[in-house]
Amino acid sequence: MKKSITMILSLIFVTSALLTGCGGNNNATNTANKGKDTDVKTEEKVSEEPFEMTIRHTQIGADKEKRFAILQDVVKTVQTEVPGLTFKLDGVDSDVNRKEKLRGEMAAGSTPEIFELFGSPDSKIYAKENKLLDLTPILAELGIADQFSNLDPFTYEGKVYGLPIGGSGEGFFYNKGYYESKGWKAPTTFAELDQQLADIKADGKVPMAGASKAGWVPLMLANHLWSRYAGPDVTNKFATGEAKWSDANVVQGFAKYKEWVDKGYFKKGELGFEYAEYTTQFTSGEAILMYDGTWKSSVFKAGQSGEGLIGKVGFFNLPAVDGGVGDQTALMRDVNNGYGFSATVANDPRQLAAVTSFIKNFYNEQIQLRGLVEDGVLPSMKIDQAKLNESITDDLMSEIVAVLNTSQSSFPAFDSLVQADVTTEISNIQIQSLIGGQTTPEKMGAAIQKVQEEANAAVE
């Protein structure tokens, strides 16, 4: 008995050892050496002694390869510009980086020198405690201080502590092939959208992708809905007490979401799925619509997981709702994902030079356009309109830009406007309770408002 087990095990072992030999030598990373910067190596040779700096990024997984390639190219350029410098790239899931790693490291004073940073409210808390490098002098030195379209999320007491990588807007991606087969167009009214959802459901398909294991995913759409019903600026007013989560208009937004859940418009079992699954539901053709950020457009490029849908994906804004407050074309837009730098960098002139070089090589027109073309990230810097148009070649991107141009105003996502407690309450508890049927829209509004009031009362 035991002998045979040993036999089988050793066989399996040998097989896997063979496979190891086959698979060991190709690393998944794409190290193509494009985008060589023309800048000359003018840095003074302070010291050639090797030193190391760490960049914490969140470009992990197959869908972010393009973005990772861009970062790698910038890293290479900076390494040639700064003698002796070696960058260590440290990839972490973005939610983990934001909510766990970085917060722990900030407390410990052990952050990497360069890290992806969430603008508001995170960067303000860190800036207040002097954990972040003040970038104002570097921006002045490089002369790019006024080139960013919006630095508010990263600004604290007039100083800049982080730089947005790009911008994003959120709306519906839809399966054009399916829409055409039904003779439909992207909905222009809410009633039309509702009707389409019902028809898709009746057709036996999943109307909307769903993956709510992490609360922020369903909250993208929910956020847009309550902002339609209660006004684009309503979320701003929660922290100041001018508006309440339990206001009838806000609750109406929750109620609409709940209605869609109850009608079975989202993929069943969504509470158990990770965000990665969200995309798969859409790219596999199972779900016809997917509410997501414009960053998702990078998936629909050659060699990516949504390759099969190239040219068959469209994008539209959430239509106006009946009786909605404020601008009904408002789009949820963010420039909240950026890079920040450890305050300790200021103590070391060589590290400071490296950071300056990193900013120079990362935040320029060329990289911004490359991000747009290759990765579908909207620019965070002001780019010449003609150049912009010239760079946009695929249909999806033009549709996205069209949506951006037709929306008359924008508002940031709720998690950049309310306190961390409130974000936790709504994304870890309330939205999942709503989806799971354990709460009602009214109770949900009241519960969040309670946490909001506690947070407002606590003196920071």
The number of beta carbons lying within 10 Å of the beta carbon of residue 95 is 14
User: Can you tell me the distance from the alpha carbon of 341 to that of 106, in angstroms, rounded to the nearest whole number?
Assistant: 11
264 contacts other proteins (rule: CB under 8 A): no
Query: Does 17 help bind other proteins (rule: CB under 8 A)?
Result: no
Angle, in degrees to the nearest 10, between helices 441-457 and 248-262: 130
Phi, psi of 375 (to 5 degrees): -125, -5
Distances (CA, A) of 37 to 55, 73, 142, 239: 20, 9, 16, 44
Map the footprint of other proteins across residues 109-138, applying CB under 8 A. 109-110, 125-126, 129, 131
Q: Which window, 150-158, 179-187, 351-359, 421-429, contacts other proteins (CB under 8 A)? A: 421-429
- Binding part of the chain for other proteins, among 24-32, 143-151, 156-164, 349-357 by CB under 8 A, reads 24-32
Least CB distance from residue 138 to other proteins, whole Å? 24
By CB under 8 A, is residue 30 in contact with other proteins?
Answer: no
- Tell which one of 46, 104, 189, 191 touches other proteins (CB under 8 A): 104
Stretch that binds other proteins, among 36-44, 329-337, 341-349, 416-424 (CB under 8 A): 416-424
Contact 247, 445 (CB under 8 A): yes
Report how far residue 309's alpha carbon sits from residue 287's, in angstroms, rounded to the nearest whole number: 13
Q: What is the DSSP string of 324-339?
A: --S-TT-EEEE--EEE
438 binds other proteins (CB under 8 A): yes
Length of the chain: 460
Residue matched to tokens 């369903």: 218
Stretch that binds other proteins, among 11-19, 165-173, 175-183, 307-315 (CB under 8 A): 11-19
Listed residue (149, 166, 226) closest to 413, CA to CA = 226
Determine contact, residues 134/158, Cβ cutoff 8 Å.
Answer: no
Closest distance between other proteins and the C-beta of residue 128, in Å?
8
Residue 46 is a binding residue for other proteins (CB under 8 A)? no
Q: Which residue spans within 94-234 are E strands per DSSP?
A: 114-118, 155-156, 159-160, 162-164, 168-175, 206-208
* 91 makes contact with other proteins (CB under 8 A): yes
Query: Which member of 39, 79, 84, 93 binds other proteins (CB under 8 A)?
Result: 93
**Which residues, other chains included, contact 51 with Cβ-Cβ below 8 Å and sequence gap of 6+?**
84, 85, 86, 350, 351
Q: CB-wise, 162 or 187, nearer to other proteins?
A: 162
Does 60 interact with other proteins (rule: CB under 8 A)?
Answer: yes
Determine if 20 is a binding residue for other proteins (CB under 8 A): yes
Q: Alpha-carbon distance 221 to 87, whole Å?
A: 38
* Residue 1 within binding range of other proteins, rule CB under 8 A: yes
Question: Residue count at the site for other proteins (CB under 8 A)?
Answer: 65
Q: Does 420 bind other proteins (CB under 8 A)?
A: yes
Q: Are 369 and 383 a contacting pair, CB within 8 Å?
A: yes
The binder of other proteins chosen from 201, 205, 213, 443 (CB under 8 A): 213
The contact set with other proteins (CB under 8 A) reads 1-2, 5-6, 9, 12-13, 16, 19-20, 22-24, 26-28, 54, 56, 60-62, 88, 90-93, 99-101, 103-110, 125-126, 129, 131, 212-214, 268-274, 276-277, 280, 420-421, 424, 428-430, 432-433, 435-436, 438
